[in-house]
Structure 1
């Protein structure tokens, strides 16, 4: 500024005047920018949770497969004992009277061993079913997190379109879709 009533605007003064004349448009852009940053942050968290639940589902399914294999091994062992028991029962019929007591005790031993093996196999099968259920539950949560992330990604795209076109209905669409995404994320958080 000069001292004789002559006023010179600097570049900064010009930008401030321009901003004052276009305050509504700048407020619109500011709102969209802040919302985009918030939605991107929430989306990143949802994406992480989706990946974590998918990884858990795979690990749990692997644990189920291990338990099923262990149960199968126990059932094979059970079958082997059944074969030995059958041979002892056949021998009981064929041997002389003085050897029958030996085969009767063998048959009883095989029956006892088979009971223990069956209990172990049944326990392993129950554990496998439990791991399968946990895997299915994690996959359900993964789908919820993925739906929530997708809704937020679409709302971010709508925010960009709203910013470029200055259409209020796109801004409201962005908020609506963001609300749906956040609700889906809440459902995943509550295991629904």
Structure 2
């Protein structure tokens, strides 16, 4: 109530004033907390996006390596096949020479044929060793290719998990749902863990 030049507060005036100041305080606190959560989600999203880009690069690199290694394995396999064909050719010549030796009654000719047979046998052993070495190299390249493909799948799984985490972050920012924020952190953690397995070749 007013009297002259000053104002006398009634009980209801104090209650309204207290409620007004209290409401502003709670509003400011809630706004501040929301701002902190938004900043935190934005920062984590930026980090996850950066890590995801690295994982994606590693996934592409391992896939490329797998293709190259598989190609090297095929080349070695072809070279080994050529050696085995050469080995078969030498075997055929050796067999024909053995027949000629056995059918020829002249001892000097038999000695000459036997020398050729011995030479073919040595050449065959060398060719066989080369072919087996090439097959081993082909198998080694195949194993390397398979290992790279396994890593590629790991990197792809990790990248997918991080992309899902980024999507959850966007939804969490829009809906202000706390559980979505926790889900984002969880999925991001899974993605980074899987990326760690890929880095360790597991």
Report runs of 4+ in structure 1 exceeding 3 Å deviation: 18-21
Pick closer, same or farther for the CA change 1:154–1:21 going to 2, 3 Å. closer
CA–CA distance in structure 1, aligned partners of residues 91 and 188 of structure 2: 63
The verdict on how the C-alpha distance between 1:104 and 1:40 changes in structure 2, with shifts beyond 3 A counting, is: same
Aligned counterparts of 1:93 and 1:134: Cα–Cα separation in 2: 50
Alignment CA distance shift 1:33-1:84 (3 Å): same
| 1:190 matched to 2:200 | yes
Distance (Å, rounded) in 2 between the aligned partners of 1:166 and 1:139: 40
Give the paired residue count. 175
What is the match of residue 170 of structure 2?
160
Mapped contact 1:159–1:170 kept (Cα < 8 A): yes
Separation in 2, partners of 1:84, 1:148: 58
CA positional deviation for 1:99: 1.1
Match of 2:190 in 1: 180
Per-residue deviation, residues 57-96 of structure 1 (Å, max 9, x unmatched): 0010000000000000000000000010011011012223
| Map 1:35-114 → 2, pairs under 5 A | 35-97=44-106, 98-114=108-124
Report Cα offsets for 1:13-55 as digits up to 9, x if no partner: xxxxx97762112112111111111100000000000000110
Contact 1:91 1:103 (C-alpha < 8 Å) held by counterparts: yes
**Which has more radius of gyration?**
2
How large is the RMSD of aligned CA atoms in angstroms? 1.3
State the TM-score, normalized to the length of structure 1. Answer: 0.88
